[in-house]
């Protein structure tokens, strides 16, 4: 009898607004898939050791404001200021803004500042509906804004009248900042810190792409998304470096950064000067979710199985980021099995299927090196909108070198087939097919929280690291 490993793979998809807005676990649907893997094939199953959640997110926010990682306390920063912009994340991010805002508002009121605006960092994502706002900001916070006469704005990327020109970054990105943010004496962002393919999320990213114009977003994304130096863990990579430089140019003073565990709960909250506080948040994130790679000792895997967990989304477009993480430990020609229910999303303007936005890659299918050149040409010609291309293009690029099989809900199969994606409802079937492709001795790895997970040797926190300079001199 063959010795087997019983793998448990998270197979979750929840409304990010629900994750951020409620502590009621009964409102959160969680599911798993299981798979028996011959132990001889398994090279790694990476389950992170997560700290306990903070419990009270609001108190964690209050404590962070009073005990900054770097720079003055929030109260000290507010002293003498006439106006403030509080920049928050949009409806497709799970940051529990409604719970983090009360201490921020307390401090602003205590400082006697009346010229206040909350600005949603939509980037080029669809604006929040009123129902979205009620959940994201919370009725109590909205009532407080109403009573104080504080303003609320959303990014309006194609309205040229809404922006102020700031300058051009060293990477060549022309920067138009939302005037409501540009005109504020003090600027704070509140978001989720996590490593990702673009270097990291949170912090200055709420400035770019959050509250800048269409031209600024597209310029940054067109220039840097396809760089080989833009990858999981590349905080010092060209894309994240440009984002942080632009945030500095825009006068971002400070950031509040939460780390959410794989259940969507706050496990850390770090406040302080830009960019130091966010950088620290990413260090702490990496200390939990980055893993020692097995590749040096055992070689790259033939098959990587990725799970999807709560703080992601209803669309594969958002859950599928882990393809780029798995890419780092999977050999070319290997198989990524991505389990993602992707039930789709209901919005104020209609319902969208679970593979919405992945259809943008259809004109370039099948994924080949030659067709990837067509993608690059169309990015150059600005025929691909890179606010969306920043996600599907890297996934596509991985697919030019590796086979992707998505394990998903039945309702997604037709659309997946229409796009040209390999999809099935059965993890067992997907695994059997992968084993038949790669042989009985295939090396198998499991990244159950792939969107969070990255090998430690991919981390690039400082631009001056010799490995980057060596690569640049090739």
b/e per residue 194-223 (b: at least 16 CB within 10 A) = bbbbbbbbbbbbbbbbbbbbbbbbbbbbbb
User: For residues 101 and 190, is the Cβ–Cβ distance under 8 A?
Assistant: yes
Give yes or no for residue 156 binding another protein (CB under 8 A): yes
Stretch that binds another protein, among 2-10, 40-48, 153-161, 225-233 (CB under 8 A): 153-161
Q: Nearest to residue 184, comparing CAs of 84, 88, 109?
A: 84
Residue number, 49 or 351, with CB nearest to another protein: 351
Q: Which of 20, 96, 123, 203 binds another protein (CB under 8 A)?
A: 123
Give yes or no for residue 25 binding another protein (CB under 8 A): no
Q: Which two tokens stand for residue 262?
A: 């794989």
Q: For the chain, what is the radius of gyration of the CA atoms?
A: 22
Q: How far is the CB of 382 from another protein (least distance, A)?
A: 9
201-260: contacts with another protein (CB under 8 A)? 214
Which residues have a Cβ under 8 Å from the Cβ of 385 and sit 6 or more positions away? Answer: 124, 218
Residues that bind another protein (rule: CB under 8 A) add up to a total of 44
Residue number, 214 or 302, with CB nearest to another protein: 214
Give yes or no for residue 417 binding another protein (CB under 8 A): no
Q: How far is CA 223 from CA 307, 334, 427, in A?
A: 31, 29, 37
How far apart, in whole angstroms, are the C-alpha atoms of residue 188 and residue 10? Answer: 34
Give yes or no for residue 387 binding another protein (CB under 8 A): yes
Residue number, 90 or 284, with CB nearest to another protein: 90
Q: Which of 127, 174, 251, 420 binds another protein (CB under 8 A)?
A: 127
Q: How far is the CB of 226 from another protein (least distance, A)?
A: 18
Residue number, 5 or 352, with CB nearest to another protein: 352
Give yes or no for residue 362 binding another protein (CB under 8 A): yes
User: For residues 375 and 364, is the Cβ–Cβ distance under 8 A?
Assistant: yes
Residue number, 366 or 466, with CB nearest to another protein: 366
Residue number, 211 or 241, with CB nearest to another protein: 211
Give yes or no for residue 182 binding another protein (CB under 8 A): no
User: For residues 227 and 324, is the Cβ–Cβ distance under 8 A?
Assistant: no
How far apart, in whole angstroms, are the C-alpha atoms of residue 9 and residue 450? Answer: 11
Q: Nearest to residue 87, comparing CAs of 178, 199, 197, 201?
A: 178
Give yes or no for residue 97 binding another protein (CB under 8 A): no
User: For residues 14 and 28, is the Cβ–Cβ distance under 8 A?
Assistant: yes
103-122: contacts with another protein (CB under 8 A)? 117, 122
Binding footprint of another protein on the chain (CB under 8 A): 117, 122-130, 132-133, 142, 145-146, 149-159, 180, 214, 348-352, 356-357, 359-360, 362-363, 381, 383, 385, 387-388
């Amino acid at each position: 009898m063959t010795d087997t490993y019983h793998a448990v793979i998270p197979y979750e998809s929840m409304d990010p607004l629900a994750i951020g807005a409620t502590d009621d676990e009964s409102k959160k649907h969680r599911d798993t898939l299981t798979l028996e893997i011959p132990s001889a094939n398994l090279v790694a199953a990476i389950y992170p050791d997560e700290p306990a959640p903070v419990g009270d997110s609001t108190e964690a926010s209050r404590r962070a404001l009073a005990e900054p990682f770097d720079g003055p306390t929030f109260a000290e920063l507010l002293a003498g200021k006439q106006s403030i912009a509080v920049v928050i994340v949009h409806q497709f991010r799970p940051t529990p803004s409604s719970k983090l805002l009360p201490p921020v508002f307390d401090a602003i009121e205590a400082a006697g500042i009346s010229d206040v605006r909350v600005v949603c960092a939509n980037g080029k994502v669809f604006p929040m509906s009123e129902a979205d706002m009620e959940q994201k900001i919370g009725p109590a916070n909205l009532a407080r804004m109403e009573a104080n006469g504080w303003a609320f704005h959303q990014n309006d990327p194609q309205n040229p009248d809404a922006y102020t020109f700031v300058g051009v970054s060293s990477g060549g990105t022309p920067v138009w900042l939302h005037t409501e943010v540009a005109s504020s004496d003090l600027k704070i962002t509140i978001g989720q810190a996590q490593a990702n393919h673009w270097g990291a999320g949170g912090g200055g990213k709420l400035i770019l792409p959050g509250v800048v114009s269409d031209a600024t977003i597209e310029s940054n994304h067109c220039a840097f998304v396809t760089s080989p130096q833009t990858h999981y863990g590349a905080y010092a990579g060209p894309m994240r470096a440009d984002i942080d430089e632009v945030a500095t140019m825009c006068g971002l003073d400070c950031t509040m950064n939460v780390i959410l565990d794989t259940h969507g709960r706050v496990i850390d909250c770090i406040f302080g000067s830009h960019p130091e506080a966010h950088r620290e948040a990413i260090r702490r994130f990496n200390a939990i979710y980055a893993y020692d790679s097995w590749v040096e000792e055992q070689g790259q895997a033939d098959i990587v199985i990725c799970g999807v967990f709560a703080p992601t989304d209803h669309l594969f477009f958002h859950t599928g980021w882990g393809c780029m993480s798995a890419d780092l430990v999977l050999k070319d020609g290997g198989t990524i099995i991505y389990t993602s229910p992707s039930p789709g999303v209901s919005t104020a303007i209609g319902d969208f299927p679970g593979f919405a936005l992945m259809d943008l890659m259809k004109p370039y299918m099948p994924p080949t090196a030659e067709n990837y050149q067509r993608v690059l040409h169309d990015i150059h010609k600005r025929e691909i909108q890179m606010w969306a291309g920043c996600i599907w293009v890297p996934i596509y690029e991985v697919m030019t070198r590796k086979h992707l099989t998505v394990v998903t809900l039945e309702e997604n199969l037709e659309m997946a087939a229409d796009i040209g994606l390999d999809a099935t409802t059965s993890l067992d079937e997907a695994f059997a097919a992968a084993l038949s492709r790669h042989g009985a001795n295939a090396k198998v790895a499991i990244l159950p929280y792939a969107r969070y997970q990255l090998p430690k040797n991919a981390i690039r926190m400082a631009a001056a690291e010799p490995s980057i300079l060596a690569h640049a001199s090739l």
